[in-house]
Structures are given as C-alpha cells and as structure tokens.
Amino acid sequence: MSENKIPYKIYLDESEIPEAWYNVRADMKNKPAPLLNPGTGKPMTAEELGAVFCDELVAQELDNDTAYIPIPEEIRNFYKMYRPAPLVRAYCLEKALGTPAKIYYKFEGNNTSGSHKLNSAIAQAYYAKKQGLKGVTTETGAGQWGTALSMACAYLGLDCKVFMVKVSYEQKPFRREVMRTYGASVTPSPSNTTNVGRKILEEFPGTTGSLGCAISEAVEVAVSNPGYRYVLGSVLNQVLLHQSVIGLEAKAALDNYGVKPDIIIGCAGGGSNLGGLISPFMGEKLRGENDYRIIAVEPASCPSFTRGTFAYDFCDTGMICPLAKMYTLGSSFIPSANHAGGLRFHGMSSTLSQLYHDGYMEATSVEQTSVFEAAEQFARIEGILPAPESSHAIRVAIDEALKCKETGEEKNILFGLTGTGYFDLVAYQKYNDGEMSDYIPTDDEIAASIAKLPKV
Ligand SMILES: *Cc1c(COP(=O)(O)O)cnc(C)c1O
C-alpha cells in the first residue's frame, strides 16, 4: 500500500492481538545481569524468588533464552476488552509543526486505568490466580499501576493491597477512589502497619514517601501473609515481556503499510513501556536485520540513565529486595517535591540498562516546564490530554520533528503515548497558573546517594 493512504488511526483486527509475548533478552548477546541475594551476594534462585513472586512469573523473570512466550487465552480475552490499541498518524501535529517528518504514536490510554500498565497487571494477576493465591500486594506512585492492578484483581477475584506513596495518596484522591471502587485496600506509605514503614518514619519523620519505600512495605506484607505474593508494575524483566504487546502491535500496524520508523521514542520511569514499545524493533537491531534510533526520555529531576551509575543497587529504600544491576541514582534518592509527574523511580530496568550500556539506545532528559508546554501543545492539536509521563516522549518527538523541518528530512518518528492525564490536573493547574518550576539535582546530591550503593 502506498504511504499517502495511511489513515489517521491504524486499527488492527482483534485477531492481530499478539499470540505470544516477545522476550528481547533471547536476542541479547550480553544478557541483563542477574538479580542478587543481598545477604549472600549470589544470584537469586527460583526458590528464593518464589517466596516473593508467583512461580510462573519467576520463570519468566529468569528466562533469558525463550524468544516467544505464548499469551494464555484468558489474558488475550482480557486484552480484547481494550486492545488492539490504535496507532495514530499525527497528521494534525505534523501540519502544525510544518515538518516533513511523519509522526506516529501508539496510544495506550484507552482503558479505565488510563495507561499501558494494564497489559502487565492482568498477566501478573492471572498467574497469581492460577497458583491458587488469595491476593497480591504492591506499591503505586502516581496511582496508575495500583489502578491497573485493582482492575485486574477485580476481574479475577483476587484480593489487592496497595501501598500508595503518601504524597500521591494525599494529592491524588481520585485515583485512590478508583482503586477502592475496584475493591483494593489502599494504605499511604510510609505507614505504621509494617516494620519497615515504622523504621522509615522514625528515621525520616514527616517524609512524604517514595516508591522505594512503598515497595519495601508491600514486599514485607506479601512475605509475612500466607497466600500472598508481591507484584511490581515496572522495572522487572517479566513486566517488559508483557509490555511487548505494545511494540508487537505497533510494528504489525506499521508493517501493514510498509512503514519503517527511523526514530523510536519513549518516556522512561522504570522502563516498561519503552522496553515494550521497542522490543521487536530492538530484536531486529540486535540480530543485525535493521537499524533504528531509539531514545529514552527521562525527567531532568530524576535522571537515572543520563546521570546515574551502572551498578548493583537495591530496588527499595528498606533494602529488603534483591539487588539489580542497573543505571541508578541510589536507592536513597528521592526526587524533589516540586517534580509533578511520575517517572520518579531511582533505577531503571536491567534489560534496558544493559542495552543502553552496550550502545543500542540513547537517553536524554527534559525539564518539566518544557514537558508541560509539549503536553499543552499536543492536547490542543491532537485532542488527547496526555499524562505528564507520556509528555516527556511528546517533547522529544516534537523536537526531533522540528529538527527534520530544518534539515528537510522526511523521517518516520514513532513514540509511545502511554496514557491520559485526567488524574494529573493538579500538575496541569500548577502549569496553567505559571507556578511550575524546574529542579535539577546537583552533582553533590546525586553523589551523596550514589555513595550509599551496596558494595558488591
Ligand atoms: C507508569 C507510567 C509510565 C512510566 O513507567 P515505565 O515503566 O517506565 O513505562 C509512563 N507513562 C504512564 C502513563 C505511566 O502510568
């Protein structure tokens, strides 16, 4: 088909929802480093991981070799409620920018949870149910993951206990109520319901919490309650695996029209949407079949890739989780309170960290005021109110399209629009009132948390 026939929205047929997830690790020569037991310094065994995570998910976490892992029929049926997700050709944005570039975005905000996180939530809840568990525990920051998991648990009849970073619990009451409506219990973190929460409160009275701290609490509750396991919405290999549906669908839609992206852009918090979006393209790159320019975009206030250190670190503040080798700012790093959006995790997926370290992808950081400028521009032109996280990718997609305007290059740009911003209106209000500011951590601040990295 010729390129000028490309519709505004490229919809796949229901039957084109992928039948298997693609595991990019299978094509990596340098595999991501294994999770280590913080006590022994040795790689975590399946048995050790099984105390915290569901068995099937442990198998997926440790599987560096199987390229395609079939998606169980029950999960595909759930996917059918909101997938395939549309791939949009941003004709209006192209016109407004006056760029010869062709811009495409994969929109993952078409479900009640409002983000891509549901793709992994349903998979993780499914395996917990299949194992005969009573329920799962987790943490949530801005609340998208907790909401997605609540929906998946409600669908499957599982109990869901969510520890929500206190500042979000207080500032984002609506997301909290969505979770409760789906039957989840939501506790602000740090709380005095766990040992680790009490310890953190004692050490840092008045703290507004962090993802790393909420993770510690959720893990403690999972391992101390029979019939419960802990689930995580980003960072882990298994989550990137589930999110590969984003990239597989995007690639199938582009392939249907003979389009090859030159640049692929995604925002990066823990790396799950980016890892999912790029996976089939990265697979071709790793196998030497095709080349793509891949850009991770992170906030200047939490710059794990661009200013972090590639080292083993804790995933949580309480230092009870396994160690992961990743680009990290140190597990005690807490982004400045004026940072409005998500993407506040101190580390990054170890799969993406290895790929970045090996030069297969680039990373850049952007300041939040310029992110909200891009969000406003996008909302007014393309009609969708984007999540602040997603808007990091919009920012860089617009910047790349404007570079094409200067050079006259007709590049194909693909970016991930991970979600909608209806629950982020306090941040939009700050921006609209001209009260949003940028905070970039100093080298000394980063060095202070890096100094506390565990010695491995
Ligand atoms: C959670 C979230 C992100 C960031 O998480 P990743 O694991 O890095 O993808 C990005 N966008 C939205 C809308 C989110 O909810």
Q: Give me the pLDDT at residue 4, please.
A: 58
Residue nearest to atom 13 of ligand 1 (CA): 419
Residue 417 CA to ligand 1 centre (angstroms): 10
Query: What is the C-alpha to C-alpha distance for residues 158 and 170, in angstroms, rounded to an integer?
Result: 26
Residue 40 CA to ligand 1 centre (angstroms): 32
Instruction: Tell me, using a 6 A CB cutoff, whether residue 419 lines ligand 1.
Output: yes
Q: Give me the pLDDT at residue 254, please.
A: 98
Q: Give me the pLDDT at residue 321, please.
A: 85
Residue nearest to atom 7 of ligand 1 (CA): 272
Instruction: Tell me, using a 6 A CB cutoff, whether residue 304 lines ligand 1.
Output: no
Pairing of strands 135-140, 263-267: unpaired
Chain centroid to CA 25:
17
Q: Is the pLDDT of residue 278 over 70?
A: yes
Q: Give me the pLDDT at residue 1, please.
A: 46
Instruction: Tell me, using a 6 A CB cutoff, whether residue 86 lines ligand 1.
Output: no
Q: Is the pLDDT of residue 3 over 70?
A: no
Q: Which of 348, 371, 390 is nearest to 430 (CA)?
A: 371
Query: What three-state secondary structure class fits 187?
Result: strand
Going from the C-alpha of 254 to that of each of 87, 250, 251, 414, the distances in angstroms are 8, 6, 5, 10
Query: Probe ligand 1: pick from 234, 345, 371, 385, max atoms within 8 Å of CB?
Result: 234
Instruction: Tell me, using a 6 A CB cutoff, whether residue 271 lines ligand 1.
Output: yes
Instruction: Tell me, using a 6 A CB cutoff, whether residue 246 lines ligand 1.
Output: no
Residue 34 CA to ligand 1 centre (angstroms): 23
User: Which ligand 1 atom is the nearest neighbour of the CA of 115?
Assistant: 13
User: Which ligand 1 atom is the nearest neighbour of the CA of 343?
Assistant: 4
Query: Probe ligand 1: pick from 389, 417, 422, max atoms within 8 Å of CB?
Result: 389
Share of the chain above pLDDT 90, in %: 90
Residue 335 pLDDT class (50, 70, 90 cuts): confident
Instruction: Tell me, using a 6 A CB cutoff, whether residue 124 lines ligand 1.
Output: no
pLDDT tens readout for residues 85-120: 999 999 999 999 999 999 999 999 999 999 999 999
For the residues 166-187, what does the mean pLDDT come to?
93
| 3-17+72-114+240-450 matches 25-36+54-66+116-230 in fold | yes
Helix axes 272-286, 350-357, angle to 10 degrees: 50
Q: Which residues contact 126 (CB under 8 A, 6 or more apart)?
A: 72, 74, 75, 78, 152, 156
Query: Probe ligand 1: pick from 120, 237, 273, max atoms within 8 Å of CB?
Result: 273
Instruction: Tell me, using a 6 A CB cutoff, whether residue 220 lines ligand 1.
Output: no
pLDDT tens readout for residues 359-417: 999 999 999 999 999 999 999 999 999 999 999 999 999 999 999 999 999 999 999 99
CATH class name, domain 3-17+72-114+240-450 = alpha beta
Mean pLDDT score across all residues of the chain? 95
Instruction: Tell me, using a 6 A CB cutoff, whether residue 387 lines ligand 1.
Output: yes
Q: What is the pTM of this model?
A: 0.96
Please give the torsion angle defined by the CA atoms of residues 83, 84, 87 and 92, in that order, rounded to the nearest 10 degrees: -50
CATH class name, domain 25-36+54-66+116-230 = alpha beta
Q: Is the pLDDT of residue 454 over 80?
A: yes
φ, ψ of residue 299 to 5 degrees: the values are -70, 145
Q: Is the pLDDT of residue 171 over 90?
A: no
User: Which ligand 1 atom is the nearest neighbour of the CA of 233?
Assistant: 7
Domain boundaries, the chain: 3-17+72-114+240-450, 25-36+54-66+116-230
Instruction: Tell me, using a 6 A CB cutoff, whether residue 343 lines ligand 1.
Output: yes
For the residues 183-190, what does the mean pLDDT come to?
97
Q: Give me the pLDDT at residue 307, please.
A: 97
Q: Is the pLDDT of residue 341 over 80?
A: no
Burial class (CB in 10 A: 0-12, 13-18, 19+), 8: exposed
